[in-house]
């Protein structure tokens, strides 16, 4: 145990607490009164480490812990250098051992940082860059002089050409001058680029130097005052909220080749730049929202009155709205610190998180410690659980839009985990199908999952005939008859369940009647479909397509749509 000398803190850190003591005062009647007792508080550094983190959306509760062998008396324990993102009002402490917590306090004060060494290094770098810039400028002048000299040679050659000269020698001279001018132009471009790079480098160094010169720092400490009743090994835990930390769920959904087995890898994507690294800490992922109001809002009165003429328009004041929520959005896995066998540690680290919470919030307690550095751009993932689900597989065909048939699975969450909303990557066998957004799925709840296109099954819809004719007495009505044919080819060795979707017009006028007739198969009897989709003119057939039904053996579905109206009724256009 290292005690800090009194002179480090000065008088303002030497606290004297008033501890209430009971003193009996005896007179004619026995009276009791409380008398204060003064105890000197001895300062000591906690030298704590971060042991636990509860991560919320946009913030985290961080716990620092220390163990100190303390003698009888009062102690002020200093937890140094809380991060700048800390919410000081959230600081709390707990004590274990033969001691009692008396008070929790925080302090913030400016500190001066000695940057002289760094400034000296920057000045040297700036001087070196400026020397290079001076050399580059000298090179520029030299190149310009060489260019002027070549131009002089060109003019002299042109003058000498008027007299009788050796043509071969003249051409050789021109070739030499041309090559030299080309080389000089290339050197000029390189010199210009070098000067620009050196200028940018110098400006960056100067800017960094100015920023360092203007740096201001504040130190935030927490002071925990306790009274120790007998010498003991005392454990003190300090917990506080920090901003700039968050987690969100992410999923990898893997379906077997046949689609009958679906595994959901439930992961957490974590990021934090709170200002302090979390090294080998226990992490709990929570859906709670600390620092949000626990009380419901209250409506204000709503009055009505006779409308009055509007007052003169006032100049609007400059108001800035403030967001009520924040969404800030990394993890290296380490071995468990538990004193278990290597095999037990590995099994524990690979196991799923445990779930706690029977209220509106749920917490996932990770079975392994992790390390998360404070880095805004470093987003990391850690596993929460791998969930085996119950899946019911079928195909979906919408032949009026596409011949492709899609694989869909109704997946039941058989785990104890609530699947929170988050992005999911879908894999079918070894193929990446795509990405989707998973909704909130409670335990035992079922959700739909699309696994892409089945290349072995095709659904083709054909309009066989469209006939418009006059009907009724003396041709008083008109009727348009659509005759459809659907061909489904199944190349699988097993029968498949296929949900086929189509549509018919929905009349919004009593003078127009629409009828679905002559169907070769009955519509779906699904209660949800009949209640929500059928009234909107959507058609659904739940079909079983035999195995290897291809070519002439393909499954055939036919139906007709009859649209009748008065001969003078002008109807909106009908789609094919």
Asked whether the beta carbons of 139 and 193 are under 8 A apart, the reply is no
pLDDT-derived band of residue 346, with 50, 70 and 90 as boundaries?
very low
Instruction: Give the integer Cα–Cα distance in Å for 118 and 40.
Output: 42
Contacts of 547 (CB under 8 A, 6+ apart): 490, 492, 493, 494, 495, 496
Most confident range (mean pLDDT) of 54-68, 184-198, 210-224 is 54-68
Per-residue model confidence (pLDDT) at position 8: 37
Q: Give the pTM.
A: 0.60
Q: The dihedral of CA 506, 509, 510, 511: what is its sign?
A: negative
To the nearest whole number, what is the mean pLDDT of the chain?
Answer: 80
DSSP 533: I
pLDDT-derived band of residue 116, with 50, 70 and 90 as boundaries?
confident
Instruction: Give the integer Cα–Cα distance in Å for 497 and 406.
Output: 12
Provide mean pLDDT across the span 393-402.
Answer: 92
Per-residue model confidence (pLDDT) at position 452: 86
- Asked which of 87-96, 202-211, 424-433, 454-463 is least confident by mean pLDDT, the reply is 202-211
For residue 506, is pLDDT > 70? Answer: yes
Provide mean pLDDT across the span 539-549.
Answer: 94
For residue 469, is pLDDT > 90? Answer: no
What are phi and psi for residue 488, nearest 5 degrees? -115, 120
Question: In this predicted model, what pLDDT tens digit does every residue of 233-291 receive, in sequence order?
Answer: 999 999 999 999 999 999 999 988 777 788 999 999 999 999 999 999 999 998 877 65
Q: Helices in 161-227 by DSSP H: which ranges?
A: 167-213
Instruction: Give the integer Cα–Cα distance in Å for 478 and 453.
Output: 41
From residue 355, alpha-carbon distances to 107, 287, 288, 397, 517 in Å are 37, 11, 13, 40, 54
Question: In this predicted model, what pLDDT tens digit does every residue of 283-319 receive, in sequence order?
Answer: 999 887 765 555 566 676 766 666 566 655 444 434 3
Instruction: Give the integer Cα–Cα distance in Å for 281 and 418.
Output: 24
Burial of 272 (0-12, 13-18, 19+ CB in 10 A): buried
């Amino acid at each position: 145990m290292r005690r800090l000398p009194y002179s480090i803190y000065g008088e303002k850190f030497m606290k004297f607490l008033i501890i209430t003591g009971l003193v009996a005062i005896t007179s004619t009647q026995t009276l009791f009164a409380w008398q204060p007792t003064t105890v000197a508080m001895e300062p000591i550094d906690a030298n704590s480490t971060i042991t636990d983190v509860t991560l919320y959306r946009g913030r985290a509760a961080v716990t620092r812990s220390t163990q100190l062998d303390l003698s009888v008396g009062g102690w002020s324990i200093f937890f140094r250098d809380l991060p700048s993102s800390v919410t000081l009002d959230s600081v709390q402490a707990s004590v274990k051992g033969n001691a009692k917590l008396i008070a929790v306090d925080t302090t913030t004060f400016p500190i001066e940082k000695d940057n002289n060494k760094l400034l000296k290094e920057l000045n040297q770098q700036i001087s070196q860059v400026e020397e290079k810039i001076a050399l580059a400028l000298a090179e520029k002048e030299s190149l310009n002089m060489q260019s002027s000299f070549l131009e002089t040679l060109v003019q002299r050659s042109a003058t000498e050409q008027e007299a009788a000269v050796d043509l071969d020698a003249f051409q050789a001279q021109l070739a030499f001058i041309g090559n030299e001018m080309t080389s000089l132009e290339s050197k000029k471009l390189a010199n210009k680029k070098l000067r620009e790079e050196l200028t940018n480098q110098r400006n960056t160094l100067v800017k960094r130097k100015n920023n360092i010169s203007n740096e201001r720092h504040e130190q935030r400490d927490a002071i925990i005052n306790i009274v120790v009743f007998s010498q003991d090994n005392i454990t003190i835990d300090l917990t506080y909220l920090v901003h700039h930390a968050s987690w969100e769920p992410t999923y990898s959904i893997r379906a077997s080749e046949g689609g009958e087995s679906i595994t959901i890898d439930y992961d957490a994507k974590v990021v934090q730049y709170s200002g302090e690294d979390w090294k080998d800490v226990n992490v709990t992922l929570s859906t709670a929202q600390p620092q949000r109001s626990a009380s419901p809002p209250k409506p204000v009165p709503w009055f009505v009155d006779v409308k009055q003429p509007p007052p003169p328009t006032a100049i609007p004041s400059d108001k800035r709205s403030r967001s009520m929520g924040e969404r800030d959005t990394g993890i290296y896995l380490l071995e468990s610190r538990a004193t278990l066998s290597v095999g037990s540690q590995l099994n524990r680290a690979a196991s799923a998180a445990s779930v706690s919470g029977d209220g509106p919030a749920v917490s996932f307690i990770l079975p392994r410690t992790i390390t998360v550095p404070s880095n805004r751009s470093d987003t990391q993932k850690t596993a929460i659980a791998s969930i085996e689900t119950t899946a019911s597989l079928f195909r979906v065909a919408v032949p009026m839009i596409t011949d492709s048939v899609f694989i869909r699975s109704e997946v039941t969450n058989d785990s104890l985990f609530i699947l929170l909303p988050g992005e999911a990557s879908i894999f079918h066998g070894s193929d990446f199908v795509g990405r989707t957004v998973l909704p909130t799925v409670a335990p035992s709840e079922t959700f739909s999952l699309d696994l892409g296109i089945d290349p072995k099954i095709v659904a083709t819809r054909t309009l066989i005939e469209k006939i418009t004719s006059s009907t009724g007495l003396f041709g008083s009505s008109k009727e348009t008859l659509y005759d459809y044919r659907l061909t489904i080819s199944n190349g699988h060795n097993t029968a498949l369940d296929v949900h086929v979707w189509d549509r018919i017009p929905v009349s919004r006028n009593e003078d127009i009647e629409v009828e679905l007739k002559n169907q070769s198969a009955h519509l779906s009897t699904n209660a949800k479909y009949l209640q929500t989709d059928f009234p909107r003119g959507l058609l659904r057939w739940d079909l079983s397509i035999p195995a290897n039904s291809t070519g002439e053996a393909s499954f055939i579905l036919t139906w007709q749509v009859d649209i009748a109206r008065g001969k003078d009724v002008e109807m909106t256009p009908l789609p094919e």
